[in-house]
Structure 1
Amino acid sequence: MSTRQVSNRNDPVIESRDQLIEPMAKGEKPREAWRIGTEHEKFVYRTKDRAAPSYSEPGGIRDLLLALRDYGWETIEEDSDTGPNVIAMSGTDGAVSLEPAGQLELSGAPLENLHQTCAETGRHLAQVKTIGDKLGLAYLGMGLWPDKTREELPIMPKGRYDIMLRHMPRVGTMGLDMMLRTCTIQTNLDYSSEADMVQKFRVSLALQPLATALFANSPFLEGKPNGYLSYRSHIWTDTDPARTGMLSFVFDEGFGYERYVDYMLDVPMYFVFRDGRYIDAAGQSFRDFLEGKLPALPGEKPTRSDWIDHLSTAFPEVRLKSFLEMRGADGGPWSRICALPALWVGLLYDQTALDAAWDLVKGWDMDGREKLRASVPKLGLDAPLPGGGKLRDIAAEVLAIARGGLAARGKLNEAGDNETGYLHPLDEIVSTGKTPAERLLELYHGPWGGKVDPIYEAKSF
């Protein structure tokens, strides 16, 4: 989740609707300026007892963050009642930040190609593993804690999380699980125009269930199978309906920046950031804020930074800010951290591939898309396609389109290889027909003897 570093007292006050559209419109970039941003989270645990470390304990999360200074990272602090807390680190590879229960996230830098993306991931993992060896910490690559209850997990000292933790139980049954017990991989990509954004938004939203199936990696909850292949994805179905879901209006004629602004104005607020502190505005209306009628800050009107903050508090399957965020994948190993951006870059960054992907999904009706999204957490590649068949029936074709898009980009590494090799982990899943979660369930019911403990040996970085 986003990390604020400065206050916004000098930001311009929003006086017109054009200012609300501005962040999306200013995101437009010529093709040669398109970049790839990759975010990935992992669970941190103590090697001696596999417990999740707290923030302030010796060798805990704070010490982990501070140790990154040895690699050139700089601290980002947030004020609290007990003084400043280090809540993130900033460096040339982006930012390392904390999720609510101490999940460690790298929000990578915007990079030109997938070779750079995978190298960035490798540097980050090498750094935190070296630090972990010294502190007695290790990292698990899964979409869901396989054995931890909510009560066993610590809470990180970050102001927006305090507000969200109070608000989540008011609007859904699984919001706390989302915050405390899940990890994801995410890809952030650019667009050249409003029309380009619309086509990319529609393709990535329609095919997000395929990414969920291919990356499904959360079949265990509190030590037992949970009945799902991606329980992380299932959690989102009852987190907060006002800010999640498939966004049917994206497929409506005339969709564009204006319509997304209307959607975001209807998303209830979480907070306002002032003078280094988060002010609780959970459930209040940004429309009221525009009129100076926000109960949390009566008489004040929002600034540009307030709007940017608010854009980060919606969690649909694909999110628009000044770029598009693909949000459907479970956390997993290094190879799949590289594979997710490969899938979406291949589909979205070559026009021939993008058109082919759109041709594949443009005939789907919204009811069919919703049914596909609802069924994929449990059924994976066997989820029903709109119009008949199963998700697995199009998986190879989608990968072929993505491979063609990557080949057309012609981005080579020093060995002369293009970017298509990063799709290999997905090729294996499609060719065998087994998602990562199904392979884990086979181990659980077979060699692991009905226990999840071996997952720490098998799926740690």
Structure 2
Amino acid sequence: MSNPGEADLTPITSVRQLAEWFAQGSKPRADWRIGVEHEKFGFRRGDLSPPPYEPQGIRAMLEGLQAHGWEPILDNGNPIGLKRGQASISLEPGGQFELSGAPLEGMDAVAAELENHIAEVRAVAAPLDLGFAPLGFHPLATREQMPWMPKGRYAIMRQYMPRVGRMGLDMMLRTCTVQVNLDFGDEADMVEKLRVSLALQPLATALFANSPFSEGRPNGLRTLRGRVWTETDPDRTGIPPVAFEPGFGFERFAAHVLDVPMYFIMREGRWIDATGVTFRQFMASGLPGHPGITASMGDWGDHVTTVFTDVRLKRFLEMRGADAGSPAMMLALSAFWVGLIYDDAAQKAAYALVRDWTVPEMQALRTGVPEGALTTPFRGRPLRDWGRDVLAIARDGLRARGQGEERYLAPLDAILESGETQADRWLRRCATEWGGDVSRILAEAAI
């Protein structure tokens, strides 16, 4: 996503140019990296309320982290993010604090980056009396109790979301995720990786389920975040059938994204409302009410980031199905996907497993897992059994890398052995140790 003053104004001359934008992400295996993004909810330790932008809230966190070598990103004079090398810190609409990690070579480097980030956040948060908890959905706050961050594009999305889905504002304000970003070698490799990861994303959603509470009580689901994404915006979410059509590749995906409605464009450091038109219409006819503005590659790059499919193709692949969770689970997510698609034999085994799954089957599974998680039936077996098969493939893929990374799968082994997800564990503890007091979860989940 462009930051103010960074937009690429290169003119768009053809649809093929847009397909080439994706193709430029192709890399030789030696250059494949692991990039992890993870979000967490801030809370005031005194009353557990979500901290505002200011005073003594999210802005103070951003300013405090600058002492650790981070440089500010400004929007209308307000710090709304930080940069350090190839890593960045950004804010989701409700103040969810996100690290977008640097592209790293292996899981040990990912673990070291996470450990350092947690240490820095703790150091800055402590004197502000703030805590940060990675959970899939805010367990206590109502939508109205969540603050809004002063980012120009969020004002546009805030107005648009209620027009297209019942829970779009909840997605913006009350959800947190962890995702891993991985590379592909060429178009054929991208297609296979995308199909494998889309098919198995419902399994990841179940394995990492971690949002069983909302507004201070159990909500009847294992992952409310998972449900939220099914009721956000059908034009840009879910499992896109186009990815499984014959002849799919960069150009077909570009054509798909062209017909997704727009949110905004940036010009001269400010966000302009572009809702109501698709990118294809914008390319053909410009933006209504803004004569002289023509589509640029910066607009395209920004638009691609507003396509919220369960796996998002950019110049890499983003695995987007998991709730935020404990640090060990954050690392397990990366190890899970690295094992599946960064080793040829493992990727082929995973593809053979899902090759004949139909899009309607996958979509039905995706709809079922928010409630059933690993108990959700699929092709006559509970999803937990499929999980054992997939985890065995991932473990083999990690072993083939020869770096000992399979140890990061240990939390998933425990979940599949017991059948108890993070969500199930919280529900059990709430009903026993906590005496029904859901508020206990923030302090216990805090990093």
Report the TM-score, using the length of structure 1 for normalisation: 0.95
- Aligned 8 A contact 1:139 1:460 in 2: yes
- Aligned 8 A contact 2:264 2:275 in 1: yes
User: 1:175-197 deviations in whole A, cap 9, x for unaligned?
Assistant: 00000000000110000010000
Deviation at 1:300, TM superposition (A): 2.3
Deviation at 1:5, TM superposition (A): 4.3
Deviation at 1:49, TM superposition (A): 1.2
Equivalent-residue separation in structure 1 for 2:445 and 2:114 (angstroms):
16
The percentage of counterpart residues that share the same residue type is: 51
Deviation at 1:7, TM superposition (A): 3.9
- Aligned 8 A contact 2:20 2:250 in 1: no
Q: Which residue of 2 aligns with 1:369?
A: 362
- Aligned 8 A contact 1:286 1:294 in 2: no
Q: Which residue of 2 aligns with 1:378?
A: 371
User: 1:147-179 deviations in whole A, cap 9, x for unaligned?
Assistant: 100111110000111100110000011000000
Paired AA for residue 436 in structure 1: Q
1:131 to 121, 124, 127: 124
Equivalent-residue separation in structure 2 for 1:356 and 1:115 (angstroms):
25
Change in Cα spacing, 1:424 to 1:5, as seen in structure 2 (3 Å) is farther
Match status 1:460 vs 2:446: yes
Deviation at 1:296, TM superposition (A): 4.6
Equivalent-residue separation in structure 2 for 1:299 and 1:141 (angstroms):
44
Equivalent-residue separation in structure 2 for 1:297 and 1:185 (angstroms):
37
Q: Which moved more, 1:439-448 or 1:169-178?
A: 439-448
Paired AA for residue 372 in structure 1: L
What SS does structure 1 have at the residue aligned with 2:377?
A: coil
Deviation at 1:93, TM superposition (A): 5.8
Q: Which residue of 1 aligns with 2:196?
A: 203
Match status 1:444 vs 2:443: no
Equivalent-residue separation in structure 2 for 1:92 and 1:424 (angstroms):
31
What SS does structure 2 have at the residue aligned with 1:403?
A: helix
1:23 to 21, 31, 35: 21
Match status 1:65 vs 2:62: yes
2:383 to 381, 384, 391: 391
Change in Cα spacing, 1:272 to 1:296, as seen in structure 2 (3 Å) is farther
- Aligned 8 A contact 2:16 2:251 in 1: no
Compute the RMSD of aligned alpha carbons. 1.1
Q: Which moved more, 1:10-19 or 1:368-377?
A: 10-19
Equivalent-residue separation in structure 2 for 1:350 and 1:357 (angstroms):
11
- Aligned 8 A contact 1:371 1:384 in 2: no
Deviation at 1:68, TM superposition (A): 0.8
User: 1:55-103 deviations in whole A, cap 9, x for unaligned?
Assistant: 121x211110011111100011012xxxx11000000360011010100
Change in Cα spacing, 1:296 to 1:378, as seen in structure 2 (3 Å) is farther
Deviation at 1:28, TM superposition (A): 0.2
- Aligned 8 A contact 1:7 1:273 in 2: no
- Aligned 8 A contact 2:212 2:221 in 1: yes
Equivalent-residue separation in structure 1 for 2:221 and 2:337 (angstroms):
24
Q: Which residue of 1 aligns with 2:333?
A: 340
Equivalent-residue separation in structure 2 for 1:87 and 1:16 (angstroms):
34
Equivalent-residue separation in structure 2 for 1:283 and 1:234 (angstroms):
26
1:433 to 419, 435, 441: 419
1:77 to 58, 74, 77: 74
What SS does structure 2 have at the residue aligned with 1:423?
A: helix
- Aligned 8 A contact 1:93 1:120 in 2: no
1:409 to 384, 401, 410: 401
Paired AA for residue 17 in structure 1: V
User: 1:231-262 deviations in whole A, cap 9, x for unaligned?
Assistant: 00100111000000111121111111111111
Q: Which residue of 1 aligns with 2:135?
A: 142
Q: Which residue of 1 aligns with 2:106?
A: 113
Match status 1:6 vs 2:5: yes
Q: Which residue of 2 aligns with 1:88?
A: 81
Equivalent-residue separation in structure 1 for 2:43 and 2:81 (angstroms):
18
User: 1:199-246 deviations in whole A, cap 9, x for unaligned?
Assistant: 000000000011101110000010111111000010011100000011
Consecutive unaligned residues of structure 1, counting only runs of 5 or more, are 412-417
User: 1:259-282 deviations in whole A, cap 9, x for unaligned?
Assistant: 111110111000010111000111
Report the TM-score, using the length of structure 2 for normalisation: 0.98
Q: Which residue of 1 aligns with 2:248?
A: 255
- Aligned 8 A contact 2:286 2:295 in 1: no
Match status 1:36 vs 2:28: no
Q: Which moved more, 1:89-98 or 1:117-126?
A: 89-98
Q: Which residue of 2 aligns with 1:53?
A: 51
What SS does structure 1 have at the residue aligned with 2:127?
A: helix
Consecutive unaligned residues of structure 2, counting only runs of 5 or more, are none
Residues matched between the structures, number? 447
Equivalent-residue separation in structure 2 for 1:187 and 1:56 (angstroms):
30
Equivalent-residue separation in structure 1 for 2:110 and 2:247 (angstroms):
35
Paired AA for residue 65 in structure 1: L
User: Which ranges of 4 or more aligned residues in structure 1 deviate by more than 4 Å?
Assistant: none
Equivalent-residue separation in structure 2 for 1:98 and 1:435 (angstroms):
27
User: 1:302-340 deviations in whole A, cap 9, x for unaligned?
Assistant: 111110000001101000010010000001111011111
Equivalent-residue separation in structure 1 for 2:52 and 2:390 (angstroms):
42
Equivalent-residue separation in structure 1 for 2:380 and 2:357 (angstroms):
10
Deviation at 1:292, TM superposition (A): 3.5
Deviation at 1:299, TM superposition (A): 3.5
Q: Which moved more, 1:191-200 or 1:434-443?
A: 434-443
Paired AA for residue 237 in structure 2: T
- Aligned 8 A contact 1:292 1:298 in 2: no
